[in-house]
């Protein structure tokens, strides 16, 4: 692991909370579906997803909820380029209106893979909601339907996002500043 610091907080817990509520309101017309399924792309979205679905309850809808584990990253900060399914969602998505929830849209490989995957499993529609968007990093041309915050090309952690499985527990989102050389 490289020597690093977590100092620059980009979004604090209060800002995140407010934005989550707004996103849930922005998605309101999606809730008219009689067959709504919300799927979290793990692991980075676990905190965002938990907050989001609790807010959805304000709208009086009861989506089916499931999880899928996808990975494109190795242990560092660079994407491996290949998306693999760890665990697929087991809910039947045939004919369903799916909303995918992800932590961050980076190269776009994960979200593009997931959209194609659930459409091929027979979903009627697939929409996407991401907490963070790094448009400058895009490799696959894809946009999310709902975006929490846009960020520059910096590596961020917290609120579910990790660096080598660390820092997911932080209640805020902060930038990782890398200094010096590898320490392990
Ligand atoms: P994509 O397939 O390149 O769009 O990558 C999406 C995944 O990469 C996210 O779901 C994250 O798990 C991971 N990722 C991308 N950028 C960051 C970051 O700045 N911090 C932590 N994880 C990141
Ligand atoms: Mg990750």
pLDDT tens profile 19-74: 999 999 999 999 999 999 999 999 999 999 999 999 999 999 999 999 999 988 65
Handedness of CA 119, 80, 153, 76 (dihedral sign): positive
The whole-chain average pLDDT of the chain stands at 94
The residue contributing the CA closest to ligand 1 atom 20 is 156
pLDDT at 102 over 70: yes
What pLDDT, on the 0 to 100 scale, is given for residue 151? 98
Query: In angstroms, what CA-CA distances link 143 with 56, 78, 104, 129, 134?
Result: 22, 20, 11, 10, 10
- Residue 76 pLDDT grade (very low, low, confident, very high; cuts 50, 70, 90): low
> What pLDDT sits at residue 184?
59
For 113, the token pair is: 């893979």
What is the pLDDT, as a whole number, of residue 74? 56
pLDDT-based confidence at residue 183 (cuts at 50, 70, 90) = low
Collect residues with CB below 5 Å from ion ligand 2. Answer: 44
**What residues are in contact with ligand 1 under a 6 Å CB criterion?**
44, 72-73, 79, 102-110, 155-157, 161-162
The answer to whether the pTM exceeds 0.85 is yes
């Amino acid at each position: 692991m490289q020597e690093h610091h977590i100092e620059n907080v980009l979004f604090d817990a209060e800002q995140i909370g407010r934005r989550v509520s707004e996103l849930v309101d922005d998605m309101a017309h999606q809730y008219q579906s009689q067959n709504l399924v919300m799927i979290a792309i793990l692991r980075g979205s676990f905190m965002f997803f938990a907050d989001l679905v609790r807010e959805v309850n304000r709208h009086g809808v009861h989506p089916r909820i499931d999880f899928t584990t996808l990975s494109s990253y190795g242990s560092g900060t660079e994407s491996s380029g290949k998306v693999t399914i760890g665990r697929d969602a087991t809910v039947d998505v045939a004919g369903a209106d799916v909303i995918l929830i992800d932590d961050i849209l980076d190269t776009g490989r994960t979200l593009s893979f997931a959209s194609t995957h659930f459409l091929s499993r027979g979903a009627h529609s697939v929409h996407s909601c991401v907490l963070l968007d790094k448009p400058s990093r895009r490799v696959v041309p894809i946009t999310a339907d709902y975006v929490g915050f846009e960020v520059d090309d910096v590596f961020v952690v917290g609120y579910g996002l990790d660096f080598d499985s660390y820092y997911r527990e932080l209640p805020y989102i902060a930038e990782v500043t890398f200094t010096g050389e590898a320490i392990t």
